[in-house]
Amino acid sequence: FQSRVPHQFPLILGWEASGTVHTVGKDVTSLKKGDRVYVYCRKPTLQWGSWAEYLTFPAEHGALVPTNLSMAQAAGVPLAGLTAWQALFDKANLQPGEVVLIHGGGGGVGSFGIQWAKLHGSSIITTASAPKFEYVKLLGADEMIDYQKHHFVDQIRCSYPSGIDVVLDTIGGSVYRQSYEILKPGGRIVSLREQPDLDLSQKFKVRAEYLFVSPNGKQLQTITKLFELGKAKPPIVHQMPLDQAPLAIEEIKKGHTTGKVVLQVMSHQVYFR
């Protein structure tokens, strides 16, 4: 990860946040002081992140917090919500009626990916541990595969002998490489972890993409509307005080968290990694 992200020390971590606008630039008209906002605020070089009491960001990257979400819930939306959106629609060009496999459906990106795909009229298969089945089904998953007991390639080949249309890979490694095997010719695989494997793409006649999510205020505004219309469910959030950030990092590294870990800076300002 460090090799892929330009960074500079001293370094404050964090790429997404929710909070209250304190000051706006003289040309900003979309936001005003006192607005509740959330934002994916990654800059070209990681140095001054969101794990802080104050941060700055281009107004066009932010959006108003959905009126029916708490600040803690909102803090867990931008990074995962935008990642899933851009992976499925900008990269994979997912179509209604297509079948998509979303690896890690119980995680942050996976939980939003399931919802966006379901709202789009697609059929969703997801890998998850058995304790998370009820959660991912509530989000809209049509078929769940317990990755701890069953191999997803075998399971999908039984249900879809001709292959499926799209894979959203949040895992990488062998899971990514094996995912090519269950795509039909012309299928698409989007990975958040791996660069496209040209040999596998040619062998299975599929299109492979890599995604590093970009800030996008317009997409975030669309996501806001989905929440306010009751069409999207907020992530499960696990709140921790900022001074427990090292512990939060360790929990995230384990890779078994359901939903998002949120760091609370002040009672009215919540920031996530």
Can you tell me the mean pLDDT for 211-239?
96
Collect all residues with Cβ–Cβ distance below 8 Å to 143 and sequence separation of at least 6: 123, 124, 125, 126, 159
Residue 106, judged by CB atoms within 10 A of its CB (0-12, 13-18, 19+), counts as buried
pLDDT band at 1 (very low <50, low <70, confident <90, very high): low
Collect all residues with Cβ–Cβ distance below 8 Å to 35 and sequence separation of at least 6: 20, 21, 64
pLDDT band at 115 (very low <50, low <70, confident <90, very high): very high
Q: Is 45 left (phi over 0), alpha (psi -120 to 50) or beta?
A: beta
Phi, psi angle pair for 56, to nearest 5°: -115, 150
Name the least confident of 45-54, 86-95, 220-229.
Answer: 45-54
Fold of 7-77+234-272: Quinone Oxidoreductase; Chain A, domain 1 (3.90.180)
* 268 pLDDT more than 60: no
pLDDT at position 5, please?
Answer: 84
Contact assessment for residue 72 and residue 100, using Cβ atoms and an 8 Å cutoff: no
Q: What angle do CA 90, 252, 113 make, to 5 degrees?
A: 25
Read off the pLDDT of residues 48-92 as tens digits, 9 standing for 90 and up: 899 999 999 999 999 999 999 999 999 999 999 999 999 999 999
In this prediction the pTM is 0.94
Q: What is the mean pLDDT of the chain?
A: 94
Rg of the chain over Cα atoms, rounded to whole angstroms, equals 19
Q: Taking the domains of the chain in order of start, what are their residue ranges?
A: 7-77+234-272, 80-210
Task: Say how far apart CA 139 and CA 264 lie, in whole Å.
Answer: 26
User: Can you read off the two tokens belonging to residue 82?
Assistant: 């935008």
* 178 pLDDT more than 70: yes
Superfamily of domain 80-210: NAD(P)-binding Rossmann-like Domain (3.40.50.720)
Percent of residues, the chain, with pLDDT higher than 90: 84
Closest CA to 71 of 31, 107, 37: 37
